[in-house]
Amino acid sequence: MCGIVGYIGNREAYPILMKGLQRLEYRGYDSAGVAMINAAGAMNVYKKKGKVSDLSDFAKGQDITGNIGIGHTRWATHGEPNDVNSHPHYSQSGDLVMIHNGIIENYASIKEGLTKRGHTFKSQTDTEVLIHLIEDIKKSENMKTGHAVLAALNQIIGAYALVVLDKNDPDTLIAAKKGSPMVIGIGEDEFFIASDASPIVEYTKNVVYLNDEQVAIIRRGQEIKLRTIKDKEIPLYVQELEMELEAIEKGGYEHFMLKEIYEQPRSVKDSMRGRLNAEKGIVQLGGIVDHIAKFKNAKRIIIIACGTSWHAGLVAEYLFEEYARIPVEVEYASEFRYRNPIIYPDDVVIAISQSGETADTLAAIELAKSKGATIIGVCNVVGSSIPRASHAGSYTHAGPEIGVASTKAFTAQVVVLTLMALQVAKEKGTMAESKFSQLLYELESVPSKIEDVLKQKRFNKTHCRYL
Ligand code: GLU
8 A C-beta contact, residue 408 and residue 260: yes
Give distance in angstroms: CA of 131 to centre of ligand 1.
13
Per-residue pLDDT of 367-416, as tens digits, reads: 999 999 999 999 998 888 899 899 999 999 998 888 889 999 999 999 99
Give the predicted TM-score (pTM) of the model: 0.79
Which CATH number among 1.20.1260.10, 3.40.1400.10, 3.40.50.10490, 3.80.30.20 corresponds to the domain 250-465? 3.40.50.10490
Residue 354 CB less than 6 A away from ligand 1: no
Residue 180 CB less than 6 A away from ligand 1: no
Q: How many residues does the chain have?
A: 467
Per-residue pLDDT of 416-451, as tens digits, reads: 999 999 999 999 999 999 999 999 999 999 999 999
pLDDT at 243: 62
Model confidence at 346: pLDDT above 50: yes
Please report the atom of ligand 1 found closest to the CA of residue 2: 9
Per-residue pLDDT of 109-161, as tens digits, reads: 999 999 999 999 999 999 999 999 999 999 999 999 999 999 999 999 988 99
Residue 77 CB less than 6 A away from ligand 1: yes
Q: With pLDDT > 90 as the criterion, what percentage of the chain qualifies? A: 83
Residue 72 CB less than 6 A away from ligand 1: no
Give distance in angstroms: CA of 266 to centre of ligand 1.
15
Please report the atom of ligand 1 found closest to the CA of residue 74: 9
Please report the atom of ligand 1 found closest to the CA of residue 76: 4
Residue 2 CB less than 6 A away from ligand 1: yes
CA angle 279–112–176, rounded 5-degree value: 70
Give distance in angstroms: CA of 380 to centre of ligand 1.
13
Which CATH number among 3.40.50.2000, 3.60.20.10, 3.10.20.310, 3.30.750.24 corresponds to the domain 3-246? 3.60.20.10
Please report the atom of ligand 1 found closest to the CA of residue 101: 8
8 A C-beta contact, residue 186 and residue 238: yes
Give distance in angstroms: CA of 160 to centre of ligand 1.
9
Per-residue pLDDT of 35-46, as tens digits, reads: 999 999 999 999
pLDDT at 295: 96
- Find how far residue 221's CA is from the centre of its chain: 33
Give distance in angstroms: CA of 128 to centre of ligand 1.
10
Give distance in angstroms: CA of 100 to centre of ligand 1.
6
Q: Where are the domains of the chain?
A: 3-246, 250-465
Per-residue pLDDT of 319-339, as tens digits, reads: 999 999 999 999 999 999 999
Cα separation, 337 vs 360, in Å, equals 7
Residue 399 CB less than 6 A away from ligand 1: no
Please report the atom of ligand 1 found closest to the CA of residue 85: 10
Q: φ and ψ at 32, to 5 degrees? A: -145, 155
Residue 127 CB less than 6 A away from ligand 1: yes
Please provide the average confidence, as pLDDT, over all residues in the chain: 93
CA distances for 430 relative to 57, 309, 433, 439, angstroms: 56, 26, 9, 14
Give the mutation target among 74, 97, 128, 381 for probing the ligand 1 site: most ligand atoms within 8 A of CB.
74
Residue 381 CB less than 6 A away from ligand 1: no
Kindly state the average pLDDT of the residues 221-229: 95
Residue 75 CB less than 6 A away from ligand 1: yes
Give the mutation target among 103, 122, 124 for probing the ligand 1 site: most ligand atoms within 8 A of CB.
103
Cα separation, 16 vs 207, in Å, equals 17
Residue 125 CB less than 6 A away from ligand 1: yes
Give distance in angstroms: CA of 369 to centre of ligand 1.
30
Kindly state the average pLDDT of the residues 46-75: 97
Please report the atom of ligand 1 found closest to the CA of residue 86: 10
Count of CB atoms within 10 A of residue 390's CB? 23
Give distance in angstroms: CA of 81 to centre of ligand 1.
10
Residue 126 CB less than 6 A away from ligand 1: yes
Count of CB atoms within 10 A of residue 43's CB? 22
